[in-house]
Amino acid sequence: MRIGIGLLLVMTALLAACSSAPQRPARGEFVERELRVDGQVHRYQVFVPAPAAASDKPPVILFLHGSGERGDDNQRQVAVGLGPQVRRQADTFPAIVVFPQVPENGEWNQVVDVTFAQLDAATREFGGDPDRTYLTGLSMGGYGAWELALRQSYRFAAVVPVCGGLVHPRRTTMAVTVVADEADPYAAVAQRLRDMPVWMFHGAKDDLVPPDYSRRLEAAFRAAGARDVRYTEFPDANHNSWDPAYATPELWDWLFAQRQANAFRQE
């Protein structure tokens, strides 16, 4: 059977389009990836939503784990916090979620470039929406969320730090470096990020990262005239405020409604 040249061209174009389309699994699942940066391989995981649960261009969440999930096994970072919450809703969760992992004894402020590279790679591979990219993290990752938001605010439509802070008297290496030299780091953060929607969570009984850190940030944002700042403090929670935070239905309705504002610009 002879195929016309025109039909052959159309078929070729369709095959090329299929081969370049983002590869999405039939069901929501976690996949392992690796990326070489400056000659070193860095592994991470990505949750890829089911096609039935997400749009053709799904939102993207960058999740930053806590101190206990550091290492190089590429597993611990999905075992605490957002990972279990997403796993419970694997077939209905509508977003791509990127799970980097900090090396043992490292800090988020030491792997910023690698983390952004992994976010970019996952967004490209799975067809994520850059205008609906969100940042969240818990404990050490809450510090990291402030660090990354301050470094490149134009990337994110909203940030959700959980039991985080800016300074830490017993672990100075975890401090947010962008405002380390500011006389009032809380006011500095609020001024720089006042146009970014923020929702903070903390446990009132937290004895590792004092809730006063989030209270002071909320007060600074309000003093700066922030357009959308929210703070939820769980009265009976200690350091683990992430389980109730990520189980808050209103958080997800609010988060997925956020889109990148024109006020964000590349610095």
pLDDT, one tens digit per residue, over 15-52 is 444 444 455 566 899 999 999 998 999 999 999 999 98
Bridge partner residues of 164 (DSSP)? none
3-state helix, strand, coil split of the chain in percent (to 5) is 40, 20, 40
pLDDT tens-digit map of 239-265: 999 999 999 999 999 999 999 874 343
- The CA distance from 192 to 178, in Å, is 11
Contacts of 228 (CB under 8 A, 6+ apart): 197, 198
Tokens for 142, please give them.
């809450």
Torsion of CA 69, 242, 246, 237, to 10 degrees: 160
pLDDT at position 55: 83
- The CA distance from 201 to 232, in Å, is 5
- Per-residue confidence at 56, pLDDT binned at 50, 70, 90? confident
pLDDT at position 10: 38
Contact between residue 61 and residue 138 where contact means Cβ atoms under 8 Å apart: no
- The CA distance from 236 to 205, in Å, is 7
0.85 exceeded by pTM:
yes
Q: Which of 29, 21, 33 is nearest to 48 (CA)?
A: 29
Mean pLDDT taken over the chain: 90
Contact between residue 240 and residue 204 where contact means Cβ atoms under 8 Å apart: no
pLDDT tens-digit map of 61-113: 999 999 999 999 999 999 999 999 999 999 999 999 999 999 999 999 999 99
- The CA distance from 160 to 255, in Å, is 9
Contacts of 49 (CB under 8 A, 6+ apart): 24, 28, 58, 93, 94, 95, 96
Domain limits, the chain: 44-256
Largest Cα separation within the chain, whole Å, is 79
pLDDT at position 25: 63
pLDDT at position 145: 98
Contact between residue 175 and residue 146 where contact means Cβ atoms under 8 Å apart: no
Contact between residue 131 and residue 155 where contact means Cβ atoms under 8 Å apart: no
Contact between residue 178 and residue 150 where contact means Cβ atoms under 8 Å apart: yes
The architecture of the domain spanning 44-256 is 3-Layer(aba) Sandwich (3.40)
Contact between residue 151 and residue 179 where contact means Cβ atoms under 8 Å apart: no
- Residue 35 is inside which H or E element, if any? strand 29-37
Tokens for 128, please give them.
């994520």
